[in-house]
Amino acid sequence: MRISLRLIIPLILGVVLVALLSAYFQVKAEKRARRDDLQQRTKVLADSLAQSVEPLLQKPSRKELQNLVDRLGSRERLAGVVVYDESEQAIAMTAGLADRLAKRPDAVGWAISRNQSVGQFFLLGQTPMHVLAVPLNQDGLVLGALAIFQDASYINAQSARLWRNTFLRVLVETLFIVLVTLLIMRWSFVGPIAKTAQWIRELRAGRPVETRSLPAAGLFRPLAQEVTHLARSLETARAAAEEEARLRAAGESFWTPERLRVHVQTTLREKRLFVVSNREPYMHIRRGKGVEVIVPASGLVTALEPILRACEGTWVAHGAGDADREAVDKQDRLRVPPDEPQYTLRRVWLTKEEEEGYYYGFANEGLWPLCHIAHTRPTFRASDWEYYQQANRKFADALLEEMAGTKEPAVLVQDYHFALLPRILKEQRPDARVAIFWHIPWPNPQAFGICPWQRELLDGLLGADLVGFHIQSHCNYFLDTVESALESRVDWDHFAINQRGHLTRVRPFPISVTISEPAGDSLAKSGAVYLERAALFKQLGVEATFMGVGVDRVDYTKGVLERFRGIERFLEKYPGYRGQFTFVQIGAPSRTHIKRYQDLLGEVESEADRINGRFQRGNWRPIVFVKRHHTHREIDQYYRAADLCMVTSLHDGMNLVAKEFVAAREDEGGTLVLSRFAGASRELRDALLVNPYDVEQLADAIRFALEMDPEEKKARMRRMRHGVREFNIYRWAADLIKELSEIRLDPSTPVKDHQPKP
């Protein structure tokens, strides 16, 4: 009985709803059609009548005009006619209409002011009415308006009658369908389903069950058998999942976004996470007349999004998109990702002067060359330093606003753009756990001493509870720098710094990339996605057999010029590869309005042209320089097709291109030629490690990579892929969060009320 009611009641409600909706839409369509017909007939009448009224407006006597109006008043459904002068005063009106028409319709004023016909439905007392106001013209001048009033009550009456008839008809038909359906369901399904449900209930309770207790109908016997198998399979899967979780907790296994999410929830518990970076994870830009949401190319987004999604965190970043302001609310916030919002993006706005001074000036003309040993002199300007301080305070104010009311928040500050931010945060929120990850190298104390504001930068960094670098040597240099520049106690045994009673840990966290599939998978799986090498060469307009690839921002730290000279020497020493080997350099222009970068771009193009001019023949040339930004999908085509990838950084914190190349080689082919001055060389020991300043070594490494035994090549790549897979970007994020969560805070320091700086 209860099953029947649960079936009957929703079915009846559904039928009633269908009947109501059907009647509603039909009546609405009929009503719209009748209204359109009324307006059309009124328009025809008004146009013909206006031709008769316009000449009478010039006569001083209104008698003929009134007689004309009176003659029209006897028509069916015509409530009356009124003629108005240019001041919207009635000068002729159907008898009887004046008593009912207490107020002039708005349509009259609109018709006179706009010099066009205007229709309007309204209530005249309790009577639905339609008025059409037509402007009256003489020699191009508007002399008044003709208003024709039609009684529209018949439309409502017909609609009510149609509503009733339609609803009753549909209701009778659907009730009959319901009755037949219920009879069929009762006879064929309800009884057997009840027996099947009872059998499943007994099975779930763990009681012994027999197949003869199932419904006799053959339709339900296979269903019961499949449910039994499903129950047993689920139980087995549950046990396997529990075992897998135990093994993952005890050992080192593959890190995934889901594992990172669980790790973050377990580690942070109820604490909220806040991330600060200059680059935002989602950017709104204009595309023609619309706005498009893009994800800027960044390993940070890949690493940090699973964390923020897991704990409903907040990401504070510079709003750099030209349509970013349109997407945020009054507090400059929006929920992201757009398709499935799970965390908050808070955008910070910088003026053009602030961006020039803080980002392009102090950060990229000062700190960037200072920290990279690439023989480019850093430029320090007092005005840039002022903007750097101002931008750090602005980001800090936004972050403190977001953190208001949150107890013991966790904060991850990203990169050299925010060296002052940790100290500002800690002064206002000592209960916050603050980490900063420095994505570029840290130089030796003598090199860092060039900066006029080294003490202020170090003091700002030491406001953090945790300072992270890519490799251990950068941690060592940082401790050396602090020891030589500040009055503080450096604990070399525990790699910590105590300054004014605050302890800062310094740790290496080698950043990495994602690798989607285990080693050994065949390239054939994705062969339909990625073009073959010959197709890529054809696309580039060259003919060659072997391909080398380099992927870099055009930056003086990447050693692109040194790489080209190594290729030139390779072709000199081993002329048999002329016409056979082509190197594709994908170079994304970067910071092009800084003069040093403008000059470098010209140098790279000139060097490629010089070498091509020396060796080029027919449809072959040794270097193809592709000067534009590429998507990850486009770059992966070259990674998968290349015989070798060259990463010849003169100095690099990590260089993820090396790891991206390894991650892309599911076929375990290809060889990595890697600079020993890149942080990645500490992990990718099976790459061919080179000194990018040694042209002879570069040339020999290219030849060795091309002629390496296939089995050795495969073994090297397999070992590198295993390392990248085990120590991927999710593990990097997990280690960083784990280290930060273990920091003990001083509970005696009160939290200050934050007052944003003007």
For residues 156 and 128, is the Cβ–Cβ distance under 8 A? yes
Q: Tell me, what CATH number does 299's domain have? A: 3.40.50.2000
Q: Supply the DSSP symbol for 330.
A: T
pLDDT value of position 239: 45
- CA separation for the pair 558, 687 (Å, rounded): 17
The pLDDT tens digits of the residues spanning 381-402 come to: 999 999 999 999 999 999 999 9
Joined together, the tokens standing for residue 452 give 């006029």
Burial (CB < 10 A; 0-12, 13-18, 19+), residue 688, is: buried
Joined together, the tokens standing for residue 364 give 């990229």
Asked whether residue 468 is domain-assigned, the answer is yes
Does the predicted model carry a pTM greater than 0.85? no
Asked whether residue 361 is domain-assigned, the answer is no
Residues 597 and 561 both lie in one domain: yes
For residues 698 and 571, is the Cβ–Cβ distance under 8 A? no
What are the DSSP E strand ranges found in 527-631?
546-553, 581-588, 623-626
For residues 371 and 441, is the Cβ–Cβ distance under 8 A? yes
Q: Along the chain (758 residues), what's the average pLDDT of each consecutive run of 10 residues?
A: 60 73 80 84 83 77 77 70 84 78 83 86 83 84 85 82 78 75 67 64 56 53 58 47 51 74 84 92 89 77 78 91 93 91 95 95 95 90 97 97 93 96 96 95 95 97 97 96 94 94 95 69 42 86 95 92 97 96 91 86 94 95 91 88 95 92 93 96 96 97 96 96 91 92 73 54
> What type of residue sits at position 275?
V
Asked whether residue 49 is domain-assigned, the answer is yes
For residues 577 and 397, is the Cβ–Cβ distance under 8 A? no
Asked whether residue 378 is domain-assigned, the answer is no
Question: Angle 524-525-527 (CA atoms, 0-180°, nearest 5)?
Answer: 55
The pLDDT tens digits of the residues spanning 12-60 come to: 777 777 777 777 787 888 888 888 888 888 888 888 888 788 787 777 7
Given 456, 480, 508, which residue is the final one in a domain? Answer: 508
Residues 468 and 610 both lie in one domain: no
Residues 341 and 450 both lie in one domain: yes
pLDDT value of position 522: 45
> In angstroms, what CA-CA distances link 40 with 32, 50, 130, 720?
12, 15, 12, 79
Residues 617 and 695 both lie in one domain: yes
The domain total for the chain is 4
Asked whether residue 698 is domain-assigned, the answer is yes
Given 157, 175, 193, which residue is the final one in a domain? Answer: 157
Residues 440 and 558 both lie in one domain: no
- CA separation for the pair 719, 436 (Å, rounded): 31
Give CA torsion, residues 63, 69, 71, 72, to 10 deg. Answer: 170
- CA separation for the pair 495, 554 (Å, rounded): 35
User: Which of 516, 465, 355, 346 lies closest to 740 in space, CA to CA?
Assistant: 465
For residues 294 and 337, is the Cβ–Cβ distance under 8 A? no
Residues 318 and 452 both lie in one domain: yes
H helices of 97-152, in order, are: 97-100, 106-114
Q: Tell me, what CATH number does 109's domain have? A: 3.30.450.20
Collect all residues with Cβ–Cβ distance below 8 Å to 180 and sequence separation of at least 6. Answer: none
Radius of gyration of the chain (CA): 39
Is the N-terminal amide bond of 710 cis, ω within 30° of 0?
Answer: no
Q: Which residues pair with 548 in a beta bridge?
A: 583, 644
**Biggest CA pair distance of the chain:** 113
Residues 606 and 685 both lie in one domain: yes
Residue 724, SS3 per DSSP: helix
Residues 467 and 600 both lie in one domain: no
Asked whether residue 266 is domain-assigned, the answer is no
The strand order across the sheet containing 581-588 reads 623-626, 581-588, 546-553, 644-647, 671-675, 688-690
Residues 470 and 332 both lie in one domain: yes
pLDDT value of position 528: 34
- CA separation for the pair 735, 510 (Å, rounded): 10
Given 135, 157, 179, which residue is the final one in a domain? Answer: 157
Residue 587, SS3 per DSSP: strand
For residues 256 and 514, is the Cβ–Cβ distance under 8 A? no
Asked whether residue 125 is domain-assigned, the answer is yes
Intra-chain end-to-end CA distance of the chain, in Å: 71
pLDDT value of position 43: 85
Residues 483 and 415 both lie in one domain: yes
Measured over the CA atoms of residue 193, residue 196, residue 200 and residue 201, the dihedral's sign is positive
Q: Which residues pair with 588 in a beta bridge?
A: 553
Residues 478 and 573 both lie in one domain: no
> What type of residue sits at position 743?
I
For residues 381 and 361, is the Cβ–Cβ distance under 8 A? yes
Residues 720 and 686 both lie in one domain: yes
What are the DSSP E strand ranges found in 518-567?
546-553
Joined together, the tokens standing for residue 519 give 């080693």
Asked whether residue 89 is domain-assigned, the answer is yes
Q: Domain of 113? A: 38-157
375 half-sphere exposure, CB direction, 13 A CA radius: 5
Joined together, the tokens standing for residue 318 give 């510079």
